[in-house]
A and B are shown apart, each in its own frame.
Chain A
Amino acid sequence: MKRREFLKTMGAASLFTIVPSRVLGGPKHVAPSDQLTKGIIGVGGIGRSSYHFTSDERCRLVAVCDVDKKHLEQAVNMAKERFHDTPVSYHDFRDLIHDPNVDVVHIATPPHWHALMSVEAAKAGKDIWCEKPMTRTIGEGKRVMEAVKQNNRIFRLNTWFRFTDTFYGLGTTVEPLKKLVDSGMLGWPLKVTVSGATGFTWKFFWVGKENLQPEPVPAELDYDMWLGPAPFKPYNVHRTHQTFRGYWDYDGGGLGDMGQHYLDPVQYILGKDNTSPIKVEVDAPQQHPDAIGIWRKITYTYEDGCQIILEGEGFESGDNVPYIEGPKGKVFKGFQCTIPDVMNKLAELPDPAPQNTDFINCIKTRQKFALNEVNGFRSSTIVNMAVCALRLNRTLRFDPEKLQFIGDDAANALIDQPMRSPWRL
């Protein structure tokens, strides 16, 4: 019996989602069959950061992959130093995905690769940890959602504020906000403002550069493989490592990169995990076709009248802007709320439904992770809708069921962008 099959079959006898470790035989006890293995694709800035570059008794790092030889070398050395372990190194992500020793594929590449790699991993029967943003188009997100479902995989989209940590500059975790909204004390519909004034920065330094000059490709980089499905454009260092965020071909600037971090919790708070806004309006200077620029304001409207307002450069309201505003009350940064004695009122209500936040346990028990391919797709869609509206510089209307813009072929062409041959999805 192969190692992985052994794990699944035996695992069923002893593991399930909410079992605390005490049931499993005390802390620090890990039978070899319980240990999962992972491979990281993309060991640049994010893939090598301390939060992701891990190897422990629950999940051991066994493989790394990068198209930049320097990154790969640095990662292997780092693993030797930190974990006293030498992971297998791959140049081609498909080799890592199909490596039978890898259980979990951890995708930390630029976003234009996320969909292809997720789908390939799903088809190979691997479980997936994918960094945000989930995908750079709505169409790619849909493909990931389908592939994960069809192959019954566990997929974690990695942003976490819907279930843990103080939410950026907002000065509160998301749970009490969810409880407050669910309680109905604010009324309905709600307006959420994501702005410097409510504690979020849109990182407008993540803009691209125009008039890029062609440069020689560094010897360590396989640029063709770095581009992958993206249109070929002459190499310039600013397109790649870390600064790739400023180009539409690979990401969506501060909005694309931070958007899902900031908006996924909003979607959760508003209870919109299974739907999307029906309209997106943008107020922005015209965008360059290659290099991403700034924007002032983006307004989303849901069918029931709920709105999400993103305030960007030069448009930040003063500190008196609530994070959430409803007809009956408002809540500001630091959970300052216009409803008197709100914390005590909330204490009387049941806590929000539990979320499955232990990825390893989710894999072992085959339960969906708290932020998965379905709700993750919806929150990446919020971001990607605005990307389309910014690029076309007009208001767009969206059908949340059909996942299509209404009456706008050019916008729909941005939803489903053909890939550079021979990449396909």
Chain B
Amino acid sequence: MIMKKIQSLIFALIIALVLPTQAVNAQGTRDARHRTTATIIADGLAQLPAKDVTVFNTVMNEIASTGAAGVQSLADMLVPATEGKNATVEYALAGLAAYVTDKGNAALRKNVREGIKASLAKCTDNPNKAFLISLLQQCGTAEDAPVLVSYLKDDYLKDFAMRALISIPGTDDVLLKLVSEGQNRTALAYAVEKKQLAAAEPFLLLWHNNAKGYILPPTSNMRVRNPENLKVDSVQLTAINSALAAIGGEASLHLLAKEAKKLGYVGGYANTSASYLNLVKRLAADPATSKLAVKEAKSLWKNKKLPANVHGAAFEALVKALGKDALPYLYKDLKNPDIEVRNAALLNISPLADDAVCAEIAKQAEKAGPFAVTDVLNWFGARKQTSEASWVASHITGEQTDVVRQTAMHAAGIIGGEEALGALVSMLGSRFSDDAVASLTRFNGKADDALVAALSKDADVQAAALPLIGTRRIAAAKGKVFELLSSSNDAVSNAAYAALSGVVRPDDFTLLADLAEKASGDKRTVLQNAMKSALASLPAAEQYKGVSERLSKATDKALYYPLLAQVGNADAINALMQGYKGKDANAAFDALLKVNNPSVVDRLFEVAADKGRTDAALSRALPLINNSSFTSIRKFRYLSDAIGLKPSTSVLNRFIEALGNVPMPSALELATKYLDSKDNAEAAATAVKTIVSKSAEPMGGEAVKAALVKAQDVFRSKMASDPDAGYAVDEIKGMIEKLPAEGTSLISQLTPEEKKEGFVMLFDGTNMDNWQGNLDNYTLIDGTIYVDAAYGSGGNLYTKKKYSDFIYRFEFQFMVEGVNNGVGIRTPMEVDAAYEGMEIQILDHDAPIYRGLREYQQHGSVYGIIPAKRVKFPELGTWNTEEIRAVGDHITVTVNGEVILDGNIREACKGHNVSPDGGANEYTVDHQNHPGLFNKDGYISFCGHGTGIKFRNIRIKDLSKSKGKRK
């Protein structure tokens, strides 16, 4: 669609522009490539929106270089929105305005500014004019001010023009002149504020007097109800007052003080009070005017009737003017009953609060009382005021109100320090134990020793300290924890058991297992967790060794299942499967669900087939599949198998939705099937949308379109209840518009040459009719034969017919690193083709695991007989082509167009495919006997079952019939 739009634009250009401007350009303003301005612009537009910054810079440079006339001709192409589409021209113009503001492109700025202005003068459509002015706002200079000023008389455009005058640097004089003329006061007052035009003060004061009493009629029911509560009644006064606050001096201060006082220093009326306070603060910060401001601030501060935020503003002004000399005001504020006043004062003094100030504030807070102490404790905590650590800690113990004590504990945890630690530990087991535990859990410092020591105190303290010991994994407490297991106090004993997990290490496993085998109920569970924790730091194999030794002797085998789940390696999974078949099936099943290893997925599918296990097993398998590094095809097979197992609706929907993670045609086909099912439609629609949008190879064609249309209908029906559904509808609309008429074909065909030469298709992507053997692991998927041997049973794939001499062509793709497969030729079935026939090796020999590979094992080699030249494979996921030509003893292998092997098998082993004595064979490179090497004929096979390889487009030319002719 985009292409079409651009083409029609170019067409419009040719008609509207090329002819007249060519006459001008005939004078010689063509660029280095001899293009006219019109052509340069047309070429540029065809590339917009620029796909990246390089294209952007090139196009903008070229267009801007066509000069003001060129830019104007571009801007002249804007039409009223109802008459045509402007987007491409807008991209170009906005791009130019941005491009020339980059320092390096300053030389071209004038072209763009002048071009825009010239077009603006001719333009008659208000929105387009506004757009052009907004471009000047971005790239204009003070030279453009007169043009902008001329638009201040236009009701539609004046706002755009004024904003441009504000944004453009260097327009101060122009704006001041406008101020002196007195029009557009609201907008100009805003400009004065933004540009900080102090010279405008006398005019603004004058305007203020004129505006006085000008009150807008009420616009809302609220004011009718509450007429005394006035808000922004005067738009103009608001702007003037705000500007005076930003630039005013003494005269403004007097005026605003008077006005604000009338309003009681509160309310939103004309922003009066806020402007007054801002002005006081601004003047307070300037030594030249601070005396005046301090007078105002002090009188405000003393006024007891003012709300806290006004009182706080007064204090802020005092701090700005007086610095630390404002502290006495703070001390008085600390006695204020209003919590907001106290905290505002603390907040405002913060930048000046050094250690000495903090110490004095602490002292004053004590005098003021517990409310102030509470606020100061919180303030110290938020500041991490370490110099006051002792003062904070001193409020944890002794006579305190609850609030003060708890606040102190909270702050002490953040600030840290030895005294705090001691005080917090001393509160363990008290009425405030929970607060102490909370603070100690995040205590800023090392709390270990103090906590271990607490275990020697009385029972309440022990019980409170033990959970902390466990959470923080304080190993030094281990001996004490074991000792407390047998405490006569139940609370302590239970807490000690719970803490075990944190303190045990691998060498405690045996002791724990001894205890666990004798325990029952909650203790058994706690000890299971402790055993898990003890082993956790060991590698899986070592963990397994420890667990299996106990397991083999244990009567209660289920005790160890959670440990096996943690181990999670192949041995552990097997042990759990064995358990699943035994008397503790449920426990084994629960443990299987906790294994965090993608290899458990196959086992989960096995048990998912059992009654009552389906949902749980599949629900567990899904995240493992999604997060695994399985190939997308393997993931798809799991998903499709899971769907086939008919889980409950909610689980089924999760699997349908997960099809979106494997964006391939088969997944789309499967998801589409569920679009009509009421319970699954939304999941299916989500999957369809995701698959089509994420597919690496663009999907297209009628079937895909139909699926998208259906999915769109599903989302449309959800729009009322789900706002995001509306976006999905829009997103699919965009996808349908961009959808290619034809999708990538999954069917391979012979080339005309191959047809002529007599090749036949063995696999064209549609069926496995020419193949036999292991059709479980060699499956047809998305037009390819996909090998997934980790799934189901083993075995090779064979042609149905036997061949002797032939040219065999196919394509293969490695999907994961290190794939091992091979093409068996002239081989019987169900034997090792490398010896009982011949194997042409297929191997991703670049994988690091094959570093020690022998030459005769490299890809393309006649395995063990003739080494091939080493191929450098393209990256994983790329299709490779291969041809194997076998004529008598002569074998030729060509990969990606390069001959990598061309040799004679009989010569390679000097005729001795088997050693004369039947032992080691000194004639073959692998020193093995290859009894089938000289077979006359046999099947062609794919042998090997490493997962992660795909084959397609397999053809063969049988040469046996034409053998005579060839020689």
Residues of A within 8 A of B (CB): 5, 8-9, 11-14, 16-20, 23, 45, 88, 90-92, 94-95, 97-100, 120, 122-125, 149-153, 203, 205-206, 210-214, 231-234, 242-243, 282-291, 293, 319, 333-334, 340-341, 344, 347-348, 350-354, 364-368, 391-394, 407-410, 413, 416-422, 424
Contact = CB atoms under 8 A, between A and B. Distances in A.
Interface in B653-673: none
Given A347-B472, A410-B139, A16 B374 contact: yes
B163 A418 contact: yes
19 contacts: A8-B308, A16-B403, A16-B407, A23-B406, A94-B268, A122-B309, A150-B278, A206-B727, A210-B90, A211-B86, A211-B87, A212-B81, A213-B81, A289-B93, A350-B442, A352-B442, A367-B378, A410-B98, A424-B238
Q: List the 5 closest pairs (A to B, CB-CB), nearest first.
A: A410-B101, A210-B87, A366-B343, A289-B94, A152-B344
Contacts of A291: 87
Contact of A422 (B239, B309, B474): B239
A353 B231 contact: no
A136 B892 CA distance: 67
A153 B220 contact: no
A290 B378 contact: no
Nearest to A119: B274
Contact of A286 (B49, B193, B266, B347): B49
B724 to A, nearest CB: 8
Given A153-B309, A366-B344, A413-B138, 6 more contacts: A16-B406, A98-B231, A350-B441, A354-B413, A421-B186, A422-B187
B86 A286 contact: no
Contacts of B65: none
Q: How large is the interface on B (under 10, 10 to 19, 20 to 34, 35 or more residues)?
A: 35 or more
* Residue in B51, B94, B186, B537 with the greatest tally of chain A CB atoms within 10 Å: B94
Q: Please report whether the interface of chain B is mostly helix, strand, loop or mixed according to DSSP.
A: helix
Contacts of B478: none
Contacts of B53: 282-283, 393-394
Contact of B339 (A19, A366, A368): A366
A416 B239 CA distance: 17
Contact of B159 (A120, A232, A344, A366): A232
A150 B229 contact: no
Given A211-B86, A366-B340, A231 B160 contact: yes
B101 A408 contact: yes
B274 A123 contact: yes
B444 interface: yes
Contact of B268 (A97, A151, A347): A97
A8 B442 CA distance: 31
B371 A409 contact: no
Interface in B204-238: 219-223, 229, 231-232, 235-236, 238
A286 B50 contact: yes
B472 A348 contact: yes
Interface string B267-282: 1100101100110010
Q: Please report whether the interface of chain A is mostly helix, strand, loop or mixed according to DSSP.
A: loop
B134 A231 contact: yes
B101 A392 contact: yes
B352 to A, nearest CB: 15
B471 interface: yes
Interface of B: 48-53, 56, 81-82, 85-87, 90-91, 93-95, 98-99, 101-103, 127, 130-131, 134, 137-139, 156, 159-160, 162-163, 166-167, 169, 186-187, 190, 193-194, 219-223, 229, 231-232, 235-236, 238-239, 242, 266-268, 271, 273-274, 277-278, 281, 307-310, 312-313, 316, 337-340, 342-344, 347-348, 371, 374-375, 378, 382, 402-403, 406-407, 410, 413-414, 434-435, 438, 441-445, 447, 471-474, 502, 533, 536-537, 627, 629, 723, 726-728, 730-731
A347 B162 CA distance: 60
Contacts of A351: 441-442
* Residue in B103, B277, B723 with the greatest tally of chain A CB atoms within 10 Å: B723
B309 A234 contact: no
B340 A8 contact: yes
A18 B381 CA distance: 12
B223 A12 contact: no
Contacts of A290: 90
A231 B130 contact: yes
B688 to A, nearest CB: 15
B410 A233 contact: no
A45 B81 contact: no
A13 B371 contact: yes
Contacts of A319: 627, 629
Given A17-B410, A95-B222, A205-B727, A391 B98 contact: yes
Contacts of B169: 409
Given A16-B403, A293-B49, A413-B167, A232 B441 contact: no
Given A210-B90, A289-B90, A393-B98, A354 B85 contact: no
B697 to A, nearest CB: 14
Contacts of A12: 337-339, 342, 371
Contacts of A19: 403, 406
A422 B220 contact: no
Nearest to B138: A410
A344 B238 contact: no
Contact of B49 (A97, A203, A285, A334): A285
Contact of B81 (A90, A100, A214, A392): A214
A416 B194 CA distance: 9
A43 B267 CA distance: 25
A210 to B, nearest CB: 4
Nearest to B266: A125
Nearest to A391: B98
Contact of A424 (B131, B190, B231, B447): B190
A347 B728 contact: no
B537 A17 contact: no
Given A95-B222, A413-B138, A417-B167, A18 B410 contact: yes
Contacts of B238: 422, 424
Contacts of B137: 413
B537 A340 contact: yes
B472 A289 contact: no
A19 B374 CA distance: 12
A396 B441 CA distance: 43
A365 B376 CA distance: 12
Contacts of A242: 723, 726
A97 to B, nearest CB: 7
Contacts of A214: 81-82
Contacts of A392: 98, 101-102
* Residue in A212, A213, A365, A417 with the greatest tally of chain B CB atoms within 10 Å: A365
Contacts of A347: 471-473, 502
Contacts of A287: 49
A8 B311 CA distance: 15
Nearest to B236: A422
Contacts of B271: 123
A63 to B, nearest CB: 9
B190 A418 contact: yes
A41 to B, nearest CB: 13
B472 A120 contact: no
A369 to B, nearest CB: 12
B470 to A, nearest CB: 9
Nearest to B157: A232
B98 A151 contact: no
Nearest to A206: B727
Contacts of B221: 90
Contacts of A367: 343, 378, 382
A151 B312 contact: yes
A393 B338 contact: no
Contacts of A293: 49
Nearest to A88: B222
A210 B2 CA distance: 12
B415 to A, nearest CB: 10
B219 to A, nearest CB: 6
B81 A94 contact: no
